[in-house]
Amino acid sequence: MFRAGVKAELGDAVDVVGEADEAEAAVELITERVPDVVLLDVHLPGGGGHAVLRGVHPHHPEVQFLALSVSDAPEDVIDVIRAGARGYITKTISGPELLQAVYRVAAGDAVFSPRLAGFVLDAFAHGDSPPAAGLDPELDQLSPREREVLRLIARGYTYKEVGRDLGISAKTVESHVSSVLRKLQLSTRHELTRWATDRRLV
């Protein structure tokens, strides 16, 4: 039922090449048709979105994943990003915004909802204090600029508005966001790995 609604919202702007309601079928379909963007439900039966990412990403790294979820729970979100998704949106998103997000991900940029920005700020908290032992300052901390960008996104600003507020171009904002995404995926910060180990994913 949800998939029908999403297809209606996307309309003709996007070519829907396949749909699946379960992880294994999804992996098969994706490796067969190699779409540009995959809208992936975090809680897909048969292993969740995580299973699909794990099945496809190593063989087809060019396929971009946009994760969807009803839950908004930080564990789900961070989980799926660390598994390789380029963006995260909730199911209550509006049609035009969904389209924009799909385009953004297809172009290789990251889609950060305000919620996700909040989670990331939370997870990388205390970035101003000196790094604790074992933390790689490059990967495990956000630079002050990245924090500012994230904070503005969390406040509901679009990338353009963020750029205007900070006096930088939208492209620069996007590169900051991508860098944050990379840190999210690679950091060994214990808040992030704790979520993963809790689900025995590490």
Query: According to CB under 8 A, which one of 16, 17, 73, 132 is a site residue for other proteins?
Result: 73
Measured from the CB atom, the residue of 107 and 125 that comes closer to other proteins is 125
154 lines the binding site for other proteins (CB under 8 A): yes
What are the φ and ψ backbone dihedral angles of 115, each rounded to 5 degrees? -60, -45
* Dihedral angle computed from the Cα positions of residues 39, 40, 46 and 52, in that order, rounded to the nearest 10 degrees: 90
| Burial of residue 116, with CB atoms counted within 10 A of its CB: 0-12 exposed, 13-18 middle, 19 or more buried | buried
Q: Footprint of other proteins on residues 7-46 (CB under 8 A)?
A: none
* Smallest distance from other proteins to CB 70, Å: 8
91 lines the binding site for other proteins (CB under 8 A): no
Query: According to CB under 8 A, which one of 46, 47, 95, 114 is a site residue for other proteins?
Result: 114
Query: According to CB under 8 A, which one of 19, 21, 122, 138 is a site residue for other proteins?
Result: 122
Q: Which whole-number Å values give the CA distances from 185 to 17, 124, 178, 179, in the listed order?
A: 28, 12, 11, 10
CB–CB of 64/86 below 8 Å? yes
Looking at residue 39, what DSSP letter applies?
Answer: E
Instruction: Please identify, among the stretches 102-110, 133-141, 152-160, 186-194, the one whose residues bind other proteins according to the rule CB under 8 A.
Output: 152-160
Instruction: Please identify, among the stretches 15-23, 57-65, 110-118, 179-187, the one whose residues bind other proteins according to the rule CB under 8 A.
Output: 110-118
Strands 87-90 and 64-69: parallel
* Residues near other proteins (CB under 8 A): 71-73, 92, 114-115, 117-118, 121-122, 125, 151, 154-157
